[in-house]
Amino acid sequence: MELPLSIQQLSKLAESNVSPSQLFGILSQYEADARLVSAGCGSPETGSADPELLSFFYASFFFAHLLTKQIPEARALTQRMPEAIRLQDPCLKNCLILLRAVWQTQHAQVYQILRNLQWPENLQPLVRRYDSFFQDQTLISVSTSYEAIRLPAAAVYLGLDLAAAEQEDPTIIEKFTQCGWKWDSETKLLHPTPIIVPSTVQKATNGIHDAMAMLGNRGG
Amino acid sequence: MSIVNDLIAASETLPRSGRISDERYDQKLKDHVTRLRQLLSNNELNHVAHDESLLDQFDPSKDSITYLFLLQLQIHNLRETTSETFPAALLPLGKLWSRSAHYLEIFNPVQVRYAGHEWRQLIELVVQAAQADSKPLLAARLVKGAMLRLDPSCAVFTSTHLLLVQLCLAAKAYTCALPVLEKPIYHIPILPSRSPFRSLQSLCAEYESSVAFVNDTTGLSSTLNSQDYLQYFLYGGMIYMALKKWDEALNYLGTAISMPTKGPISMVAVEAYKKFILVGLLDKGKTCSLPNSTATQVVKTLQSLVKPYLDLAKAFEQGDRIRLEAEIDAAQGIWSADKNTGLVFQVLNAFCKHSLVKIKKVVASLSVAELTAPISPFQGNLSGITESQIASLIMAGDLDATLAHSQLHSSSSILRFKAESLPLLFHENEAHADLQTQGKLMEGLFGSMEQANHRLGLSDEFIDNTVNRQQWPSAGGMKSEMGGATGLEMEEDIMGDLS
């Protein structure tokens, strides 16, 4: 960690394009600093706890957990937040509401919380990033979970305009057909094409071959 | 100040230069530690014990020994003068805390092998200070970092392992423990005379295994007993439970339960067994088998001690929701006393999921309305479940099925269980990731087995035993027998998993 914990530094991180795991790693290193700030060793100017900085840090770190799909650990983070700001700070209260919706897989609520609740300006990039991430993840899940799905139901899952979906708005339909889904205008059903996320690991068959070779060598 | 000047001069020559042999460097470090211990025991450094700037004259990353001794001297002196166990300077934010924390982040891992007692004492002090100030998180991160710095393999069980999991549980910083928990333990600290590296006397040498320097005499671990080992695996299991990594939790709890014992069964093992039953229900929907290494007598005794848990598991496995709820109500005091209430309620929530999974064995597809009807072939176990909950289970990967909406809104959706699920590639990628992990574990295990074989082969006990038992098969014969059988079994298992 090169730079000290500050609102400027956190704002830069929130706006940056670092990968979710990098973001998580960087913010993890700041947690000890945040704990010390909460204990009263804030900025040299104030010399005391800095609620705005703490709120921004914990909210950013919370979103970093969500972006790396660490939901149980995100819950643990909310329990580690300093009590005084966890229950008072509007942004962190929003995080708790969001966590509950994500935990209970209430898709419509998740989008509503992300889009309609008031989030601080400097946190907006992470809020938008998670909105997009959650939408992508849900699209993948729906594609493998449904053989056929009504357009409004699919729209709710993806946080799209429900009224437009009920009117069979072509722009809504197009969002799905662009992903290879088929729209049956007679039955009014979408037929998803399962989206298989390619593994980041190298070609699988090589791995199996290598593992078996290793077993053979070791055993023999 | 001449002593300090001498120490500064000695300190500058302490970092290892490329040419010095292991033996010479070993002797140099030993001499340095001996001198420092002598200076401290003769109180020859007391005149600088208050000097805050003293430590600035040493670089802890280059001379981790002098810095450590002087840091300890200042801590000891501060405690004496303030008559406080944890004066403010030692608590987080304090000057000595900051110095200690900085030291633990950058110390030289080879040099501290020679000052293991002092290194461990500093770790313990940091832990106690953080706990005294209700900030276990600060110590957890430091301890984890220090452990990995000292021994990146973490393959030898030490008292610091136990400290770390206790801290992480207290701080609710569960992922902080994972870099250590994920590393398999192959050894406990042993006497150097039993070490496979006993012929190599230099602690500073590079070793394949950390068992060469984490032993009974270096002091890098305090003396351990079987309870410490059990507690580590119980707490490790609890950390995995908090993260809902159920397989890993079962593995850790199973290890705590199956540890061989001659005397009475430990209460830690009993606690682990209670959690093991509940985690088995949560993850697999049934009571999982204990590891094969668990003694039959131990299993019988454990079962007699956890009857309410077994009754609950029986009701769960029989698919009897009413009885399950009754069992939960009846033993509320027990769950609470055991601090397992949260887990028991998770079991109740998981009942629906596993009831659905069981239906897969009976039917290929059915409408959601049929499934959720109060009077259904499924004993009303799923009467409260909604379509969106079913969809959530499928989307989370807990239920291998698909949903299909019908054209008419009035018609119920169809739930279709998958006989053959996603394309093989999907499974192959997952299997490959698993294989990579398991492959690394096996490499480590084989390495440790080879060391153990080597050690056994050189030991007096082994030679005596070989002489006494003339029927011992030849090493070559054993090897080929093991190799053939192991390879074949693994292949069948892999094909079984993929099918």
Q: What is the DSSP string of B466-498?
A: HHH-TTPPPHHHHHHHHHHHHHHHHHHHHHHHH
> What's the rounded Cα separation, in Å, for the pair B163 and B340?
23
Per-residue pLDDT, B457: 58
Angle between the B22-41 and B2-12 helix axes, to the nearest 10 degrees? 160
The pLDDT value given to residue B3: 84
Instruction: List the domains of chain A with CATH numbers.
Output: 7-119 (no CATH), 135-212 (1.10.10)
Residue B332 predicted with pLDDT over 80: yes
Q: Which of A84-98, B205-219, B472-486 bottoms out in mean pLDDT, i.e. has the lowest?
A: B472-486
Contacts of A80 in chain B (CB under 8 A): 137, 171-173
Q: Is residue B201 part of a domain?
A: yes
- Here the ipTM equals 0.84
**Average pLDDT rounded to a whole number, residues B308-319:** 95
CB distance B404–A146 less than 8 Å? yes
In this predicted structure, what is the pLDDT of residue B499?
A: 27
Q: Which DSSP state fits B187?
A: B
Same domain (yes/no): B179, B325: no
Where among B176, B202, B224 does a domain terminate?
B224
- Identify whether residues B55 and B155 lie together within a single domain: yes
pTM of the shown model: 0.84
Q: Do B135 and A35 touch (CB under 8 A)?
A: yes
pLDDT at B477 exceeding the cut of 70: no
Tell me which residue has tokens 């992903």. Answer: A179
Considering the domain boundaries, does residue B251 fall inside one? Answer: no
Beta strand A146-150 with B401-404: parallel, antiparallel or unpaired? parallel
B422 touches chain A (CB under 8 A): yes
Query: Are residues A199 and B432, on separate chains, in Cβ contact within 8 Å?
Result: yes
Instruction: Tell me if B171 and A214 make a contact (CB, 8 A cut-off).
Output: no
Any A CB within 8 A of B490 CB: yes
Whether residue B395 lies within 8 A of chain A, CB to CB, comes out as yes
Q: B172 touching A, CB under 8 A?
A: yes
Residue A203 pLDDT > 60:
no
pLDDT value of residue B472: 44
Mean pLDDT of A158-165: 95
Please determine, for residue A163, whether its predicted confidence score (pLDDT) is greater than 70: yes
- Give B243's pLDDT tier (boundaries 50, 70, 90): very high
Separation of alpha carbons A134 and B393, rounded Å: 17
Per-residue pLDDT averaged across A151-170, rounded?
95
End residue of a domain, out of B417, B443, B466: B417
pLDDT in tens, B86-109: 999 999 989 999 999 999 999 999
- Residue B180 shares a structural domain with residue B313: no
Residues of chain A positioned with their CB less than 8 A from the CB of B448: none
- Structural domains of chain B, count: 2
Per-residue pLDDT band at A146 (split at 50, 70, 90): very high
Cβ-Cβ contacts under 8 Å between A and B: the total is: 132
**Residues B435-446: what's their mean pLDDT?**
77
Domain span including residue B29? 2-224
- State the pLDDT at residue B478: 37
Residues of A in contact with B486 (CB under 8 A): 215, 219
Could you read off the pLDDT of A27-57 as tens digits, one per residue? 999 999 998 888 765 444 444 578 999 999 9
Burial B254-278 (b: 16+ CB within 10 A, else e): bbbbbbeeeeebbebbbbbbbbbbb
**Residue B379: its pLDDT value, please?**
53
Q: B125 and B218, same structural domain?
A: yes
> Is residue B45 scored above 60 in pLDDT?
yes
Instruction: Calculate what percentage of chain A has a pLDDT beyond 90.
Output: 75
Whether B219 and B350 map to the same domain: the answer is no
Domain limit, last residue, from B391, B417, B443: B417
Say whether B93 and A208 touch across the interface (CB within 8 A): no
Residues B220 and B358 in one domain: no
